[in-house]
Amino acid sequence: MPVRGHRSHVPENSVRFDLTLFHAPVYTTRQTCKLCSRKGHILRSNVLCRVCKVNLCLNAEINCFIKYHEIVA
């Protein structure tokens, strides 16, 4: 079975949920949103978390950036 693309970076939960770090959105090339792809959707975003190094949707309709960094119990 051929390998498609490369495995994306996944930050440790200790980094992902650390509120003392400055998780700022930065603009970059469009890539698949990490959170949407986990739900089976293919949405591309040009917003990258500066700390986690993952692309996440961030617009008026969808805010995966906040959802990705929230701790859900």
**Residue 4 counted as domain residue:** no
Predicted pLDDT at 60: 92
- Report in angstroms the alpha-carbon separations of 65 from 2, 3, 4, 41, 44: 31, 28, 25, 15, 13
pTM of the model: 0.75
* Domain presence at residue 52: yes
- The boundaries of the domain holding residue 23 are 13-69
The string of pLDDT tens digits covering residues 18-60 is 777 888 999 999 999 999 988 888 899 999 999 999 999 999 9
Q: Which residues are CB-neighbours of 16 under 8 A, at least 6 positions away?
A: 52, 68, 69
Is position 25 within any domain?
yes
